[in-house]
A and B are shown apart, each in its own frame.
Chain A
Amino acid sequence: MTSMSERDRFDHAVLADFVADEAALLDAGRYDEWLALYTDDAHYWVPLMGAAQADPHTHQSLAYEDRLLLQLRIERMKHPRAHSLRPRSRCQHVLQPARVDVIDREAGTASTRTPFLYLETRGELQLTLSGVCRHRLVHTDAGWRIREKRVDLLDAERALPAIQLFI
């Protein structure tokens, strides 16, 4: 049984479903459930250099957020005077199926890469972003959890309008 469930948990389709479910929670605006998918030491990272960036410290990022800052973002969105959310923004992640880069059965970890299109609409406006999401996942008693979600945009360095939601 153990070996069977282990094969299941590392199954590529299981990992791809997990990544797709994470994006679906964002698209549905279910942020508390979304944040519950992240480990306590997790980071959400949108490097300014996109895929070319080595680390979040020597170069700038559009976002580099630990759990506290992710919570801050979510708390703010619940606030009745989050002015920029009137009208409320909506988003749609259009994902290619996640490809599994690395599996470490012993450590219980996996890494995936997921090319995406991201659409964010607000009133009459629409913003389109594209790139590759890279998830570093760790398996816990509660199932797969995200240790890092890295969003490598194609054009993070271009002059951008406000991005209201999570890519």
Chain B
Amino acid sequence: MTPDAIRALVENDRVHRDAYLSDEVFELEQRHFAARTWQFVGHASQVPAAGDYVAMDIAGRPLMMVRQADGSVRVLHNRCAHKGTQLVTDASGNAGRFFRCPYHAWTYKLDGAPLALPLKAGYENTGLAHCASGRGLEAVRHVAVYRDFVFARLADDGPDFDAYFGDVLHAIDNMVDRSPQGRLTVAGGVLRNIIHCNWKMYLENINDTVHPVSTHESASQAAQTLWQGRAPEEPKPMAMEQILPFASSYDFFDRMGGRVYPNGHSVLGIHFSIHSGYAQLPEYEQALRDAHGAERARQILERSPQNAVLYPSLAVKGSPQAIRVIRPLAADRTLIEAWSFRAEGAPDLLFERTQSYNRLVFSPMSVVAHDDVHLFESIQRGLRGGTNEWVSLHRGFDASELDRGTAETNGTNEWLMRNQFRAWAEHLAAAMEAAS
């Protein structure tokens, strides 16, 4: 496929089904799009001590995030320079002062620089020192750490970090500043889901405010049935507080509003969201005012967006302190992880909320997610049929949006999705052109 053929998959108000179905498109995405855009790698709190590592696959490449002796964080390819063995095969751990390949005992410093190898004399007068195999573990050159959130761009060609994300980074500030100490820690483990759908469909749905009414009807009506007859002032159990807002009306979701940013990013729920009604905690709010000042505390607390998307790998909920990490595995297979954060200095109740929300909504056993996942998998199959090769993203389209960069809109406008696909086609085609 040519870059122009990729661009032709995204029209102003609809997307071609090959964007979701084609194995060839997926291979191009993994090779080019995923390398040119900034991918969420991990959180610095996962590697507190020198030598700590976490391993992950991003776009089919095994990587590891490593805490250095000088306190910085690096991202290395988890591949021995010799034969390709993975240096670590546990999901996380501590390497000590250096990495040692289990196959032939080649060793590397924590930054990937070559340290030693056996039978050194055998390499005298060979080309090893002058080729990539002699230079140690490959480090990802473009790594940015924003308030402990670690991102990487795998390709040399592409936008720099600040230009790529721009103001959507405030969504991370909104979550981090919920800690009176301004510090988050990953805690409680990660819920991991395998979904047989295209990753872009999942990201699209994060901005889909029109599906809860029909998709989640069974879960939200069951919750309403169990809670009916209670006095409005009766305090709700946390799970009810979190699940009942899924029954909100089209009007509610429309009025919450959304904002699009260049490069596919968005914030949904810029005015309020299903997370706005959680019980207030006066002592905690005072602690935030003491830490950040009254004005900043007010800004943080009055703003609980539904979802911020840091396209294409991260979705953030400032309150509760939860993220979803999107890892494409195949055209029809996606790994979705739900992570919980502890906001340091905040009461335990906040962490309880985060874990409760993730469990209710993003666990493989979630009665909310069951219907989402079923429908994504159904779309992945259904799209193959019929002569109509296009998916409609018409709702709210106005040609003037094509010239806008950052802009606000109503919450049910599919602009937030169109914005993702425009960035997708633009970056994929540009990366293909840069590679050729």
Question: A residues engaging B (CB < 8 A)?
Answer: 46, 48-49, 57-64, 66, 68-69, 71-73, 75-76, 79, 81-84, 86, 157-164
Which residues of the other chain, B, contact A75 by a CB distance below 8 angstroms?
A: 222, 225-226
- What 0/1 readout, one digit per residue, does chain B (182-216) give for beta carbons within 8 Å of chain A? 00000111111111100000000000000000110
CB of B144 within 8 Å of the partner chain = no
Residue B364, interface by CB 8 Å = yes
Nearest first, the 7 closest Cβ-Cβ pairs linking A and B are A75-B222, A84-B374, A79-B218, A84-B370, A82-B218, A160-B364, A159-B192
- Which residues from chain B contact A69 at a C-beta distance below 8 Å? 239
A59 & B365 in contact (Cβ 8 Å cutoff): no
CA distance A60 to B352 in the complex (A): 10
User: Whole-angstrom distance from the CB of B275 to the nearest CB of chain A?
Assistant: 19
User: How close is B343's CB to chain A, nearest CB, in angstroms?
Assistant: 15
Question: What's the nearest-Cβ distance from chain B to residue A81, in Å?
Answer: 5
Are B370 and A60 in contact (CB-based, < 8 A)?
no
Known pairs A48-B191, A160-B364; A81 contacts B226 (CB<8 A)? no
Residues of A near B217 (CB, < 8 A) are 79, 81
Q: Are B370 and A162 in contact (CB under 8 A)?
A: yes
Asked if A163 and B237 sit within 8 Å, CB to CB, the answer is: no
* Interface segment, one of B63-71, B123-131, B355-363, B420-428: B355-363
Interface residues of B in 299-331 (CB under 8 A from A): none
Tell whether, in the assembled complex, residue B359 and residue A73 are in contact, meaning their CB atoms are under 8 Å apart. no
When distances are taken between beta carbons in the complex, the residues of chain B under 8 Å from A46 are: 365
Task: Say yes or no: A62-B222 contact (C-beta < 8 A), given A48-B189, A157-B189.
Answer: no
By a CB distance below 8 angstroms, the chain A residues around B340 are 60
Also in contact, A159 and B363, with CB within 8 A (given A60-B188, A69-B239, A79-B217): no
Measured CB to CB, the closest approach of chain B to A164, in angstroms, equals: 6
Pair A163/B365 contact, Cβ less than 8 Å: yes
- Shortest CB–CB separation between residue A120 and chain B, in angstroms? 11
B370 and A164 form a contact (CB under 8 A): yes
Q: How many residues of B contact A (CB 8 A)?
A: 40
**Are B218 and A81 neighbours in the complex by a CB distance under 8 Å?**
yes
Complex CA distance for A163 and B371, rounded to whole angstroms: 12
Cβ–Cβ < 8 Å partners of B196 in chain A: 161
B375: interface (CB < 8 Å) = yes
Contact at B370–A68, with CB atoms within 8 Å?
Answer: no
Chain B residues within 8 Å of A64, by CB: 359
- Pick from B188, B215, B335, B369: contact of A159, CB under 8 Å: B335
Could you tell me the distance in whole angstroms from the C-beta of B334 to the nearest C-beta in chain A? Answer: 10
- Chain B residues near A72: list those with CB within 8 A: 219, 222-223, 226, 239, 243, 367
Name the residue in A63, A68, A75, A162 with the highest tally of chain B Cβ atoms < 10 Å from its Cβ: A162
Given contacts A66-B237, A79-B218, 12 further A-B contacts (CB under 8 A): A59-B189, A60-B189, A62-B365, A63-B363, A72-B219, A72-B367, A79-B217, A79-B222, A160-B194, A161-B195, A162-B369, A163-B364
Partner of A158, one of B192, B214, B237: B192
Who on chain A is nearest to B373 by CB? A162
A122 closest partner in B (C-beta): B374
Q: Which residues of B contact A158 (CB under 8 A)?
A: 192
A73→B222 CA distance, assembly (Å): 8
In the bound complex, CA of A60 to CA of B222 (Å) = 24
> Contact between A76 and B218 (Cβ–Cβ < 8 Å)?
yes
Residue B221 at the chain A interface, CB threshold 8 Å: yes
Tell me, in angstroms, the Cα distance from A81 to B219 when the chains sit together.
9
Contact (A76, B219) CB under 8 Å given A48-B191, A63-B365, A83-B374: yes
A81 partner residues in chain B, CB cutoff 8 A: 214, 217-218
Does B116 belong to the interface (CB within 8 Å)? no
Provide 29 A-B residue pairs closer than 8 Å at the C-beta atoms, listed in order of the A residue. A46-B365, A48-B188, A48-B189, A57-B355, A59-B188, A60-B188, A60-B191, A60-B340, A60-B359, A62-B365, A63-B359, A68-B226, A72-B223, A73-B222, A73-B367, A79-B217, A83-B371, A83-B374, A83-B375, A84-B370, A157-B192, A158-B192, A159-B192, A160-B193, A160-B364, A161-B193, A162-B365, A162-B374, A163-B364
**Smallest distance from the beta carbon of A37 to chain B beta carbons, Å?**
19
The residue of chain B having its C-beta at the shortest distance from the C-beta of A79 within the complex is B218
Residue numbers in B under 8 Å from A73 (CB-CB): 222, 367
Q: Across the interface, which residues of B come within 8 angstroms of A57, CB to CB?
A: 352, 355
Q: Tell me, yes or no, whether B240 is within 8 Å of chain A by CB.
A: yes
Q: In the bound complex, what is the Cα–Cα distance between A100 and B340 (angstroms)?
A: 36
